[in-house]
Each structure stands twice: as C-alpha cells, then as structure tokens.
Amino acid sequence: MDGDRVEIDGGIMEGGGQILRVSTALGCLLGLPLRVRRIRAGRSQPGLRPQHLSGLEIIRDLCDGKLNGGEIGSTEITFTPGKIKGGTHIADTKTAGSVCLLMQVAMPCVLFAASPSELHLKGGTNAEMAPQIDYTVMVFKPVVEKFNFTFNCDIKRRGYYPQGGGEVVVQMSPVKELSPINLTERGTVTKIYGRAFVAGALPIKLAKDMSAAAVRCIRREIRDLYINIQPVREPDDQAVGTGSGIIIVAETSTGCLLAGSSLGKRGKNADKVGIEAAEMLLQNLKHGGTVDDSLQDQLIIFMALAKGVSRVKSGPITLHTQTAIHFAEQLTKAKFTVTKSEEDNPGNDTYIIECQGMGMINPNL
C-alpha cells in the first residue's frame, strides 16, 4: 500500500496547519492514502499541536481510517481513509484550539457521507489565528451555502484563550453534489453591523468602548450608513473563562458579506481592538472583491469539489489561498486560474479566481 501513498510536503508555501486540513479532507473524500511530511515546518513550534491532532482524529473517525504518527509534536503522519459515515462525532482540542478550524476540516467530508451528521466540536470559539465563531456564522455560513447545501451551527458555550472549554454543535445532511458559485459583483455597501462582546470578569463598558471606537473609525470613510455594533455581555452559563472581541460585517446590494474582527487581550486598550477590526473591514472593502481575505481560502476546497465552473472576485490572493489551490490541484482534477480583474479601476488590486471543479459525486446517495 505504501508505494501508492500521495506525498504531501507540509513545509512549503503557507507551511502551517492549513496544508494538513486541506490534504486530509481531500484524501478522505477521494479515498487517497497520504503521507504528510515536514508538518508545520516553518512554525516556532513545528509539528502537530492539539488542535491539528483533533482535526486529524475527527477525519479518521468520520471515515474509519487509519492514522499513524498522530501525536503532539509529530512532523510526519500517514493517513489511510475508509468510507465516510454520518452520525455523531466529537472532537475536543482540550485547549483553546479553534472549533472553527475543526469545522473547516470536517465539513467537506460530511457533505459526502452516507447519512446526516452531528459534529460536537470543543475548544476555543473566539481564538487568535483563526476565524471567530461569529465570523463562521455571520459570513462563512451564508456564503458557503451558495454551493447548495445548508448546515446548522449551534453555539452551546463560548471558550477563550487559554483554557478553551467552548462547544459548538454542527448538524448537516449529505448532498449528491455541490453547485458552483459565481461571486463576481460586489455591489454597494448597504449596511454595517456587528457585535462587540465581553465574557467572564470583564465589564460591559469594554464592549461599549470597542463598539464606539470602531464606529468612529468607519465613520471617517463611510458617512451615510447607520452602523449598528451591539455591545454584549455573554451570559455566564454560556461562556467559559474571560474574553473580549469584536466582529463587524458589511453587507452589499448583491448579498456579499465582508468583515473585520479583532480580539482583546490583557494590556490591550479596548479602543485599539475596535479600531483594528474597523481598519480590517475598511481594508477588505477597499480592494473591491466580493469576499474578504479570511473567506478567500476557505472557499477553495468547495470550488474544487463542485460540479462546473466557479468564479470569485477577490482582493490580493493570500498565501493561504495560494496554498489551498496548490494542494487542491495536486489531489483533485480541479483546475484553477487566477487572473487580474481588468474591469475595475486600475487602482483596485482585484483578481478573479476561477475553478473548473472536479464534480465530486456522493457515492452513497
């Protein structure tokens, strides 16, 4: 069997956990045995962290696969997938490892399962270096559902750095195939809304300060829109530990959703958190793309699996996106092209990501 393993170099390009997520999800879907070497080679702590290991374990469990090298710090794994099955699956990072990244790896697989799935994902819901769960629900969900599937995401408890302890439950039914998407018209911004949150020992005043600072920052660029950023205190029975942060979403006339977000941490001024999120949103609006920088790479695996041609207009292509495209092309028959978008004013750094999808068919349905 080992002669037929697909070799994945986990140290090239973005060189992080994303290579592991994209390649193991596609390996699982396509029934490809993999060897991933040099895992997270470029990181300060190379090898598997608890979050990556949880992601590998949920994929293994989803398809009754075999995983070797699955321990913390390991820089090489082999994975031999079996048949994807539905049902209830639990993944627990036991840390503040991101539940959103666990969702990223599992979701493409359970779409092609034999029966409906329920994923219980435990860890951090609002963590650094990953989308916040609010982003997943407010931006990722409505956009990814354009591939013609739906899922339910129930936030049971929120968990923050360092202890985690959050839990979300994701329910979804399998599909026969995914439809391609066409997101090429940005339209004009019609509303801006969001939430600034505190949890645990932090006073609601911090949320109000984050919200007010963000609104002031956006107002300088966008004067004629009502900006509604709700300050909220997470109920104590629905949050573990202490955390704060903000997410701001802009919705456009064509239904595009783009966001900016930021997390608070000890010693970081609340105004700074709000301003960071506002500046990220404004940056994402400036380039004229239909998706923001965080969503760009998350759509690649779905474009690769869909049947037909998908087109997405984006800002500058992130290294995460380039990496996802590289491994999607290595493992599937999908073909991507990225071209500079000419129709926009020359000042805009806009691109069209086009993909001829492989047309994955669910063999179980």
Peptide bond into 162 cis (omega under 30): yes
Lookup: tokens for 157? 């408890």
- Is 295:315 a contact under the CB 8 Å cutoff? no
Q: 64 by DSSP, 3-state: which?
A: coil
- Is 292:259 a contact under the CB 8 Å cutoff? yes
318 φ/ψ angles, rounded to the nearest 5 degrees: -75, 160
Distances (CA, A) of 253 to 5, 186, 248, 250: 47, 8, 17, 10
Q: From the candidates 52, 287, 320, 326, give the one annotated as an active-site residue.
A: 320
Determine whether the annotation assigns residue 104 to a binding site.
Answer: yes
Would residue 326 show up in a list of annotated catalytic residues for this protein?
A: no
Sheet (strand 227-233) strand order: 227-233, 189-199, 243-252, 257-263
- Phi/psi-derived region of residue 287, left when phi > 0, alpha when psi is between -120 and 50, beta in every other case: alpha
Alpha carbon 40 to its chain's center: 18
Q: 148 by DSSP, 3-state: which?
A: coil
Report the C-alpha dihedral over residues 265, 266, 271, 277, rounded to 10 degrees: -10
- Cα–Cα distance between 40 and 49 in angstroms, integer? 9
Alpha carbon 233 to its chain's center: 25
Distances (CA, A) of 64 to 1, 59, 61, 104, 106: 17, 8, 5, 19, 14
Could you list the residues known to form a binding site for ATP, using ranges.
104
Catalytically annotated residues: 320
Could you list the residues known to form a binding site, using ranges.
104
